Amino acid sequence: MSVALTLTEPRPRKAAPRHLADLDLAGCQSVLSEIGQPAFRAKQLRQQYFGRHVGDASQMTDLPAAAREAIGEALLPRLLQPIRVDSCDDGRTVKAVWRLYDGALVESVIMAYPDRVTACVSSQAGCGMACPFCATGQGGLDRNLTTAEIVDQVVNAARLAEERGLGRLSNIVFMGMGEPLANWARLKSALHLITAPVPDGIGISARSVTVSTVGLVPTIKKLAEEGLPVRLAVSLHAPDDELRDELVPINTRWKVAEVLDAAWEYARVTKRRVSIEYAMIRDVNDQPWRADLLGKLLKGKLVHVNLIPLNPTPGSRWDASPKPVEAEFVRRLREAGVSTTVRDTRGQEIDGACGQLAASVREAGTPGRAGAKPLGASGAAE
Ligand code: SAH
């Protein structure tokens, strides 16, 4: 009845076009020499792309005009074709839908706040984790994004934020489409490029980058060993295995206790507070006893809870928890000494809020499987 859980690497399609964000400096230099360009242009290109967020060689005025086309073709093909760019919240939330070289669609969202500008980016086209309350999860996994496709979302977000007067991009959250840790090799390279100083990378502080995961335990350990102090967010959504098995199907493989152990280990190694994401779903996971159980599991740990009011997906019978229920949940967690806040719900009008990203489903003009059949009925029967 539900969408299949997919952990395996999807079948590769035709190769992605070569892009400088998939190459290191030496790789860039060797491509340049193949097309008869001096090696020093590699640094120039990387400075322009990572540092000034220029992705189009024809706009790089420090390159000889006659060489721009050949260099662009060899190293800077357009990876993300904008399908549409929408904004709301007075222009302070911007969602972009991109078409990739093979027709796959992904979305990213920019959110400008008084003290920071955050880009929410995708790590996969679609998602294989099949969480029944998430729009992306209903479409299944299309494919992993390449490193350059991930990095290019960040570069485009930085440029869009600057062009629209929103300010300098300061934070990245991997909370768009996909399960970042299911695309580990590409994610790892992208994290290094996002955080390395210009011209080797985009120069965003690792402390301002958040990787959100359903809880792929062995890969959380790899992330901890990577030596990048990025923030880890774990999508828990239930404190008990019975309900979490249904809300986050990968829980049938790695249980709540194992996921939390991996999170505490991550906090120990990186000395960073872990975030616990918890979508508040009316009468499903919002009972006072679940707040108390969650409080008991998290008490005394280096942790912060982010409660996310559920954004109901089309056709789902699930709804957000009423505000008084949410307030009681917060009160009980805080009473247990657990730092807790409720996430704002930016971008709802443009389907850019948490769990609403499902470009491929919408563009295909079908309501999606969530629309055809409400999932997870047993979870709602508490
Ligand atoms: N695969 C990663 C990133 C997903 S999106 C992960 O699961 O962590 C980031 C957050 O949005 C996750 O916590 C996810 O569970 C949550 N989310 C998904 N659908 C949602 C919805 N309909 N309403 C509220 N939050 C949702």
Contact 241, 256 (CB under 8 A): yes
Task: Return all residues near 233 (Cβ < 8 A) that are at least 6 apart.
Answer: 173, 175, 210, 211, 212, 213, 274, 275, 276, 277, 306
180 and 215 share one domain: yes
Q: How far apart are CA 45 and CA 47, in angstroms?
A: 5
Residue 173, ligand 1, Cβ within 6 A: no
185 and 261 share one domain: yes
Q: Is residue 35 part of a domain?
A: yes
Number of domain units in the chain: 2
Residue 212, ligand 1, Cβ within 6 A: yes
The pLDDT of residue 2 is 55
Tell me the CA–centroid distance for residue 354 and ligand 1, in Å: 6
Residue matched to tokens 């300098």: 168
Rounding to the nearest 10 degrees, give the CA dihedral for residues 323, 326, 330, 332. Answer: 120
Residue 124, ligand 1, Cβ within 6 A: no
The pLDDT of residue 374 is 27
The pLDDT of residue 88 is 92
Annotated binding site for S-adenosyl-L-methionine: 178-179, 212, 235-237, 311
Residue 214, ligand 1, Cβ within 6 A: yes
pLDDT of 50 higher than 50 = yes
Q: Which tens digit of pLDDT belongs to each residue from 360-374?
A: 545 544 333 333 222
Q: Which tens digit of pLDDT belongs to each residue from 183-236?
A: 999 999 999 999 999 999 999 999 999 999 999 999 999 999 999 999 999 999
Tell me which residues are annotated as active site: 107, 354
129 and 266 share one domain: yes
Contact 179, 220 (CB under 8 A): no
Residue 179, ligand 1, Cβ within 6 A: yes
Contact 225, 262 (CB under 8 A): no
- In order of 121, 146, 278, the CA distances from 281 in angstroms are 24, 33, 9
CATH number of the domain within which 328 lies: 3.20.20.70
pLDDT of 255 higher than 90 = yes
Tell me the CA–centroid distance for residue 42 and ligand 1, in Å: 38
The pLDDT of residue 279 is 97
pTM for this predicted structure: 0.92
The pLDDT of residue 352 is 73
34 and 169 share one domain: no
Residue matched to tokens 């409400």: 374
208 and 68 share one domain: no
Q: Is residue 370 part of a domain?
A: no
Average pLDDT over residues 278-300: 98
Annotated binding site: 127, 131, 134, 178-179, 212, 235-237, 311
Higher pLDDT, 139 or 298: 298
151: number of Cβ within 10 Å: 28
Q: Look at ligand 1, atom 20, and give the residue with the nearest C-alpha.
A: 355
Contact 193, 206 (CB under 8 A): no
pLDDT band of residue 348 (cuts 50, 70, 90) is: confident
91 and 227 share one domain: yes
Structural domain that includes position 68:
20-76
Q: Is residue 68 part of a domain?
A: yes
Q: Look at ligand 1, atom 18, and give the residue with the nearest C-alpha.
A: 355
The pLDDT of residue 357 is 73
Which residues, in sequence order, are bridge partners of residue 110? 94, 119
CATH number of the domain within which 36 lies: 1.10.150
165 and 28 share one domain: no
pLDDT band of residue 359 (cuts 50, 70, 90) is: low
Q: Which tens digit of pLDDT belongs to each residue from 4-35?
A: 777 666 655 678 999 999 999 999 999 999 99
